[in-house]
Amino acid sequence: MNEPTTRICTNCQVEKEISEFHRRRNGYQKICKSCRNASARGDYQARGKARLPHSPTQINPANFPALQERIVLLESRLRASASMYAHDKLDADDIYSEMVEAILTKCKPEDNDGFIMQRASWTGQALVSKNMSYNEYVGDLDVDEDALTAGGFKVVNTRTVEDALIEIESFKSLQKVIASLPPENQTVVKMISIGMNQRQIAEKLQVSEQSVSERMKKIRKFFAENMDGNMGLSLA
């Protein structure tokens, strides 16, 4: 099927070249770039540099018992998701704790399992990003441990600059390896990262569980051939 070469903007009602419209999924948006830019400029002038009003999250302690029950039911999936973003078991435990806190404070009892797992995944991604930024900009500070010890301070962090650089490069390598997977296998990895099991992945992709199992075997083999270790990626 050939793509159209022109389109009529629903805002200005002018027929324009298709390049004048932003892409949206498999097609194009209905409002042209010029109209969208004009609308954005108008909004900015109307409110100046003030940010749009933001409503802080309302934490309701009354929701905690119901959410704790959901967390217990989802614990194995949450821990599997936490291991996706961890370097070792202790790190995974810390990430799991952050995920639990995010669920208790940002989810509601009526949220479905998929949304709760997505919230956990967002938390894991945010922690990885935060740690990478810290390691890159702060982790290379030159600390004189002898001077600190002489001053009465106890040095408890033995992590070196080399360690931080290795972790950053390892994570970047993982991203590159995932990006080099076929699109259908990238989708499987993303589903695993939010805690979906083989049956759920099969239902989502409308394929058999055997097909999902075969894909996961290929993904394991691909990681084994292209990376040293798997950065905690759990494909069990």
List the one residue out of 185, 179, 168, 138 whose CA is nearest residue 231. 168
**88 and 27 in a common domain:** no
Residue 234 lies in a domain: no
CA separation for the pair 91, 77 (Å, rounded): 16
184 plus 123 within the same structural domain: yes
Is 230's pLDDT higher than 60? Answer: no
CA distance 186 to 177: 10
Residue range(s) defining the domain that contains residue 23: 6-45
Shared domain for 136 and 207, answered yes or no, is yes
Give tens-digit pLDDT for 137-191: 444 444 455 554 555 555 455 555 455 555 556 666 667 777 888 888 888 888 8
- The answer to whether residues 127 and 13 belong to one domain is no
Whole-angstrom distance, CA of residue 118 vs CA of residue 45: 36
Each residue of 23-68: pLDDT tens digit?
876 778 888 888 888 887 777 676 665 555 555 566 778 888 999 9
pLDDT of residue 162: 53
100 and 205 in a single domain? The answer is yes
> Is the domain of 193 the same as that of 82?
yes
Q: Is residue 55 part of a domain?
A: no
Do both 78 and 169 map to the same domain?
Answer: yes
- Structure tokens of 114? 């998929």
Residue 202 burial (CB count, 10 A): 18
Mean pLDDT of 108-132: 85
17 with 72, same domain: the answer is no
Q: Lowest-confidence range among 38-47, 109-118, 119-128, 132-141?
A: 132-141
| pLDDT tens for each residue of 199-229 | 888 888 888 888 888 888 888 888 777 765 4
pLDDT for the residue numbered 92: 81
Three-state secondary-structure class, residue 104: helix
CB 188 within 8 Å of CB 212: yes
Output the pTM of the full model: 0.40
So what's the pLDDT on residue 231? 46
